[in-house]
Every structure is written in structure tokens, then in C-alpha cells.
């Protein structure tokens, strides 16, 4: 009996689903927040001095939400909640992630990410400053 319990415990530890332990998708990413999903982002400096923010939302094992077509909403706010300069919504899941790209951002802008299953929050007051995101481009 003890051998069966030990074998079951060992098997459970070894055969845990890989998606349950997923981290940020490759490279350097900043963990932004968690709701039903886990949200990550990084920034790339463009030749004009602005930044492009790349986002990746991990499904966090919520296959039912993915099956229902729920994706991620991302927004960049500049100076206040009322000034959302760019936003994207996507439900194009691939390899447990949905990704968006937000262009023409500044270091002082704020990024907001959330599951696209409830209305937008306040991207400026709740968001993370773009300058706090790790760079995902070669320096």
C-alpha cells in the first residue's frame, strides 16, 4: 500500500502538465499581472525614438475560456485614463499564448493588460509604466 502511494505521488510530480508550469514566452519578459490569465510584456526601441510594446498572455490552464473565444485586451494610456493612444484585442491563441503589438509608445506611457472577458479598467492608474518593461531587443 505504501509503495502504491509513493508511486502515485512520484508519478503526479513527474507527469504534471507542462502548461501549468509555463513562464514567460522565451527571451526577457516582464510579468505584468494576473487575472484568469498571466500577462507579460517587453519593449523594443524604434529608430524614431519611440518604443514598440510586445505582449504575451498565457492561458494559465483556462482552456474553457480559450474555447469560448476569450482573448486578451491590451492598451497604452498617455498621461491619464482618458487618453488611450493605442489598444488591441486578440483571441488568436497559439501555443498557450495570445500576443499583441502596441506601437508608438513612450517610456512615460502606461500599459494595461487583462483578459478580454470584462470591460476595460483604468489603464493609466492601474497600468505599468513602459519604462519598467525589460527590453526585448538587442542593446
- pLDDT score, position 23: 64
User: What is the DSSP track for 80-133?
Assistant: STT-EEEEEEE---BTTEEEEEEEEE-TTSEEEEEETTS----HHHHSEEGGGS
Domain boundaries, the chain: 19-132
Residue 11 pLDDT exceeds 70: no
* pLDDT beyond 80 at 24: no
Q: Considering only 15-19, 60-64, 81-85, 122-126, which range has the smallest mean pLDDT?
A: 15-19
The grid coordinates of residue 9 equal 505521488
**What is the rounded average pLDDT of the residues 11-36?**
65
At residue 139, the pLDDT reads 58
Rounded to an integer, what distance in angstroms lies between the CA atom of residue 47 and that of residue 66?
A: 36
The mean pLDDT value of the chain amounts to 84
Q: What is the mean pLDDT of residues 90-106?
A: 96
Whole-angstrom CA distances from 108 to 10, 79, 131 are 49, 8, 7
pTM: 0.80
Amino acid at each position: 500500500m505504501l509503495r502504491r502511494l509513493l508511486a502515485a505521488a512520484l508519478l503526479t510530480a513527474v507527469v504534471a502538465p507542462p502548461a501549468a508550469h509555463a513562464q514567460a514566452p522565451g527571451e526577457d519578459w516582464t510579468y505584468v499581472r494576473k487575472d484568469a490569465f498571466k500577462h507579460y510584456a517587453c519593449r523594443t526601441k524604434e529608430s524614431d525614438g519611440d518604443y514598440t510594446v510586445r505582449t504575451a498572455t498565457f492561458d494559465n490552464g483556462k482552456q474553457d475560456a480559450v474555447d469560448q473565444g476569450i482573448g486578451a485586451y491590451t492598451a497604452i494610456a498617455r498621461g491619464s485614463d482618458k487618453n488611450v493612444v493605442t489598444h488591441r484585442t486578440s483571441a488568436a491563441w497559439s501555443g498557450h499564448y495570445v500576443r499583441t503589438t502596441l506601437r508608438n509608445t513612450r517610456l512615460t506611457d502606461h500599459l494595461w493588460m487583462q483578459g478580454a472577458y470584462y470591460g476595460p479598467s483604468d489603464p493609466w492608474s492601474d497600468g505599468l509604466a513602459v519604462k519598467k518593461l525589460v527590453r526585448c531587443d538587442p542593446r
